[in-house]
Amino acid sequence: MADSAQVVREQDPVRSVLRADGSLAGDPRRALGLTPEGFVDLYRKMVSIRRADQEALNLQRQGELGLWGQFLGQEAAHVGATMALEPTDWIFPSYREFGMAMCRGIDPATMLTVFRGLTHGAWDPRKFHFAPLAIPVATQVPHAVGFAMGSRLEGSGEVVLVTFGDGATSAGDWHEAMNFAGVFKAPVIFLCQNNYWAISVPLPRQTAGRIADRAAGYGFPGIRIDGNDVLAVFAATRAAAERARRGDGPYLIEAQTYRMGAHTSSDDPTRYRTAAELEAWSSKDPIARYERWLRAEGLLDQAGVDGIGKEAESTAEKMRTRLREAPAPDPGKAMFDRVYSRPSPGFQQEREEFESSLESPG
Amino acid sequence: MAEETFRLPDLGEGLTDAQLVSWRVQEGSTVEVNAPLCEVETAKAVVVIPSPFRGTVRSLHAKPGESVAVGAPLVTITASSDAPADTERTLVGYGPGGPESGVRRRARSVPGAAADNAGDVRAAPFVRQLAREKGVDLATVTGTGPGGRITRADVEGAAVGEGSVSAPASASAAADGDQRISVVGIRKAIARQMVRSVSTIPQFTEFAIFDATRLLAARAKAKASGRPLTPLPYFVAAVVRAVREYPLLNSSWDDTTDEIVVKRAINVGLAVNTKNGLLVPVLKGAGSMDTNAIAERATHLIEGARAGSLGPGEMSGGTITVTNVGASGPVETGTPIINPPECCVVAFGAIRPRPMVVEGQVVARESAWISVSVDHRIVDGALATEFLTRLVSDLERTDA
C-alpha cells in the first residue's frame, strides 16, 4: 500500500496487495474503501476490456481496423487506476488505453473509429474528462502537466492522471514535464505502465536506473508497484490523487506489468522475446489471480463469473456491429471544419478546390 | 443466405501481399464469427485470420505456399442470414466486401531514388561506423533498404562475403537503378498459365481478313430495334457455329493418357483487360445461346471481371477462348497464346475500312483480321484453315 510521502529507496520492494497466488499481502478492505460490489466491479471491468481488446484485434485481422495495439496483460493498470479517480479527474492517455476509455464510459465502437481511420478523435474530451489519444511517444505528458496547472489555477479540484510506457521515460518531453510539475507542484499523477518492452527494445536497453527513482530527481515521490495487481494499482492511484488534491503536488507510479501481446497488429514479438518470458508472466495474470481472491473471499461464485463472461461477450458483439455500421466521414468536413473558428478566404478557397476535386475524379 | 467473399486485408500498415501458410478450414466447413480461417505470413509477422462471417465455407482461393495480394479473394463463405449487411464500406484494409467500394489503397513505393543518387552511398551514420569497423567499402555494397539505402544487414552480409542479404519483398530499386517488382496475384497466375502454354503446347497461328459489311448492317438493324450490340456477340456466335462443325477445336490434350478429349459443352473464355491484368471469365453453355443471350451474358462477365466481383466458378471451365486485339490504336492483329488446357484461341482485330478487291476493283470495305492459334498435337494446318475459312464465310454472311 502506498505511503504517499515516501520516496522509493534502493532496497524498496515492489509493492503489492495481492500476491501472485491470489493471497493477500495486506488487508485492503478498510484502506481502499471499496464495497463488495466495488470489488466485483473491478473484476467485471477487467474481463470486459480484455474481451473487447481481443475483438478489436480480430476486427483488425478482418480488415475492419487499420491498426490495433493490444493491452492484453495490462488490464489491472487500466481498471485500477481509472476506478481510483473521481469521474471529474482527467486522464491523458497514450494510444494503448482503450481499457481506460471503456472504464470512463466511452462507447468502445466509437473509440475504435479512430483506428478505422474515420476520425482523429471520436469523443468529446470535456464530456468524459478523457483527452484524445496521443500516438507520438510522450507528447501527452507535458499536455497533462499544463492541464493540471490550469486546474490548480482555476481551483477546480480536478486531478490529472497521465499514463505512458517505459519507453516514454527516455523522451525529452517526459523529463521537461516531470521537472515542471515538481517545481510548480502540479496536481498530476504520472502513471508509468512499465511493460518491459518499448516495441522491441527491452527495459535494460531503455534505462540504466529504476523508473520510480527518477521522481526523486524532480523533487517528488515515486513508487514501484505490482501493475498486475488491480488492488495495488487502485491503492497507489487513490493515494496519489488524494495527495495531489491536497495541493502536495505530483507523484510517479511505476506499475510493473507486461505486454502479453504484440506491440501492435503490425508487430511479431516472437522475433525479439522468448516463450519462457511470456510463460513467466502468464502466471501473474491480473484477472486470474484477482478472480481467485474474489472467490476465496466469497465475493464471486461460478454463476457470477459466467454472467460477467456473457456480459463481456455481448459488449464485444455490440461493438463489432456498431463499428461496422459507423458512417464514413465527409472528407471536406473532416479536414477543414475544425481548423479555424473563422476561416480565412484563402483557407475557404482551398476547401472549395478540394471539394470540387472530389466531385470530378481523375 | 448470402455469398460473401473475404479479401485479404492489409494486416500490417502498407503490406502488399502475404503468403498462405495453412488453412484451418476446408470447403464445406461451417465457421463461426472469429473462428480461425487460416494462417498467413506477411513481411512482418505470421498471423492467424479469424472469420468475419458465420456460415459455410464455399471456396478457398489460395493454396498453402501461394502468395495472395492484399485485396485478392481469400475465401468465399455462404454466410448465415445474420451476417452483417454489406453496407457502404469504409475500410482501411480489405476484408469483407469488395475493393471497388471506396477503398483507398496505399500506393506501392516508387523506386527511383537510388537512380537519382547513383554513385552516392546512402547509409545511416551507424551503418557507416559498422562498415568502418568491419572494413567494408560501402561503395561496393548493394543497398536493400528504402531507396537503395545500405542497411546493417547489407554491411554484415558484405563482411562475411555474401553481398546483400535478403531478397526484396516488393518493388525495390537496386543501386544500379534496375527495378525489381515482386509478382503476386493475377500477374503471377498469368505468368504461370503462359509458361504452361508455351512449354507444353506446340502451337501455330493462321491469319485471315473478313469483310464486315454485312455484320455492320446487322448491328445497325439491331441498334435500330433497340438492341445495341458490340461486335463481340457476333464473333462468339460465329465461333460456336464453327466449333459445332469442327469439334476438334473444342478439345484438350490429356498428357497422362495421350488422348484427345473432345468437349461436349462449348464454354467460351472471354479475354478481358482489367486494371489488375488479363482475366478470362467464361461464358458457359454458349452452344445453346443465341446472339442476344450471348451479348447479355458477355456484358455481365466483362463488367464483373473489371469490378472484381466474379466468383471463381465464373473464371474457370473454358473450352475455347476468344480475345481481341487493336480495339484502339493501329494494331491489326497478333499471335494469341492458347489458354491451357484448351486447344484453340481466336483473336479478332478492329473493324475498320481497308482496301479490298471486290469484283476486280479495289474498294474501301469495313473489315477485320482474325487469327487462330491451335494446338498442333490435335489440329494440323489443313484443319485450322478449314476452321478459319468457315469463320470468315460465316461472319461475311451474317444475317441481319
Domain limits, chain A: 28-329, 331-362
- Taking CA–CA distances from B101, the nearest residue in chain A reads A328
CB contact under 8 A, A64 and B91: yes
Task: Using an 8 Å CB-CB cutoff, list chain B residues near A67.
Answer: 13
- Report the residue from A116, A266, A321 with minimal CB separation from B90: A116
Contact (CB, 8 A) for A18 and A231: yes
Query: Residue A361 has what pLDDT?
Result: 56
Among A61, A120, A246, A272, the active-site one is A272
Q: By CA distance, what is A65's nearest residue in B?
A: B92
Q: Is pLDDT above 70 for A154?
A: yes
Residue B25, CA distances (Å) to B7, B53, B84 in order: 16, 13, 21
Sign of CA dihedral A218, A222, A228, A229: negative
Predicted confidence band at B84 (pLDDT cuts at 50, 70, 90)? low
**B145 contact A CB<8A:** no
Among A127-141, B117-131, B145-159, B221-235, the range of highest mean pLDDT: A127-141
Long-range contacts of B134-142 (CB under 8 A, 24+ apart): B134/B158, B134/B159, B135/B159, B142/B174, B142/B175
DSSP class of B338 = P
- Residues with Cβ < 8 Å from B168, sequence gap 6 or more? B144, B180, B182
User: pLDDT value at position B115?
Assistant: 36
pLDDT at A13: 60
Burial B247-286 (b: 16+ CB within 10 A, else e): ebbbbbbeeeeeeeeebeebbbbbbbeeebebbbbbbbeb
Highest mean pLDDT of the ranges A239-243, B181-185, B307-311: A239-243
Which of B52, B87, B88 lies at the smallest CB-CB distance from A62?
A: B52
Beta pairing class for B361-375 and B203-211: antiparallel
CATH of domain A28-329: 3.40.50.970
Strand, coil or helix: B109: coil
Whether residue B95 is predicted with pLDDT greater than 70 in this model: the reply is no
Residue B123 carries which DSSP code?
A: B
pLDDT score at B88: 45
Q: What is the mean pLDDT of chain A?
A: 91
Alpha-carbon distance A53 to A62, whole Å? Answer: 14
Query: Residue A246 burial by CB count (10 A; 0-12/13-18/19+): exposed, middle or buried?
Result: exposed
Mean pLDDT, to the nearest integer, of A222-235?
Answer: 94
Q: What is the pTM of this model?
A: 0.59
Query: According to the model, what pLDDT value does residue B304 have?
Result: 87
- Which residue, among A261, A295, A288, A287, has the nearest Cα to A76 in the 3D structure? A287
Mean pLDDT of all residues in B117-130: 73
Q: What is the mean pLDDT of residues B28-35?
A: 92
What pLDDT was estimated at residue B105? 37
Asked: is B113-180 a CATH 3.40.50.300 domain? The reply is no
pLDDT value of residue B129: 84
- Answer whether A15's CB lies under 8 Å from A227's CB: no
Residue B277 φ/ψ region, left for φ over 0, alpha for ψ in the -120 to 50 degree band, beta for the rest: left
- Which residue has better confidence, B279 or A174? A174
Q: What angle do CA B305, B309, B311 make, to 5 degrees?
A: 90
Residue B329 Rama label (left phi>0; alpha psi -120 to 50; beta)? left
| CATH architecture for segment(s) B2-96 | Beta Barrel (2.40)
For residue B42, give the C-alpha cell.
506477411
Give B360's contacts (C-beta < 8 A, 6+ positions apart): none
- From the list A96, A259, A289, A320, the catalytic residue is A259
pLDDT in tens, B232-285: 999 999 999 999 999 999 999 998 889 999 999 999 999 999 877 888 999 999
Flag whether pLDDT at B190 surpasses 50: yes
> How do residues A323-350 score in pLDDT, each as one tens digit?
999 988 888 888 898 889 899 999 999 9
Cα B12-A163-A319 angle, rounded to 5 deg: 50
- Classify the complex by whether its ipTM is higher than 0.85, answering yes or no: no
CA-only gyration radius of chain B, Å: 26
Q: What is the CATH number of domain B187-396?
A: 3.30.559.10
Nearest neighbour of A268 by CB, restricted to B44, B90, B95? B44
**Are B52 and A64 inside 8 Å of each other by CB?**
yes
- For A210, the enclosing helix (H) or strand (E) is none
**Residues B20-47: b if buried by 16+ CB within 10 A, e if exposed:** beebebeeebebebbeebbbbbbbbbeb
Q: Which amino acid is at B274?
A: T
**B100 falls in which pLDDT band (50, 70, 90)?**
very low
Average pLDDT over residues B367-384: 97
Contact state of A266 with B12 under an 8 Å Cβ cutoff: yes
Q: Which of A130-134, A144-148, B2-6, B340-344 has the lowest mean pLDDT?
A: B2-6
Separation CA B389–CA B206 (nearest Å): 11
Structure letter (DSSP) for residue A256: E
> A87 vs A103, A251, B4, CA distance in Å?
10, 19, 44
Rounded to an integer, the average pLDDT of B15-29 is: 90
Is 70 exceeded by the pLDDT of residue B56? yes
Contacting residues of A for B9, CB less than 8 Å apart:
60-63
Name the residue with higher pLDDT: B58 or B182. B58
Provide the β-strand partners of residue B38. Answer: B23, B49
pLDDT in tens, B155-172: 887 776 533 333 333 455
> Is residue B94 very low, low, confident or very high in pLDDT (cuts 50, 70, 90)?
low
pLDDT at B106 exceeding the cut of 50: no
Q: In A246-301, which residue ranges form alpha helices assigned H by DSSP?
A: 275-282, 286-296
| Contact between B94 and B71 (Cβ < 8 Å) | yes
Q: What is the mean pLDDT of residues B305-326?
A: 84
Q: Does A152 touch chain B (CB under 8 A)?
A: no
Q: Which of B376, B377, B385, B396 is catalytic?
A: B376
Query: Does A329 sit behind a cis peptide bond, omega within 30 degrees of 0 on the bond before it?
Result: no
What mean pLDDT, rounded, does chain B reach?
Answer: 83
Q: In chain B, which residue's Cα lies nearest the Cα of A271?
A: B45
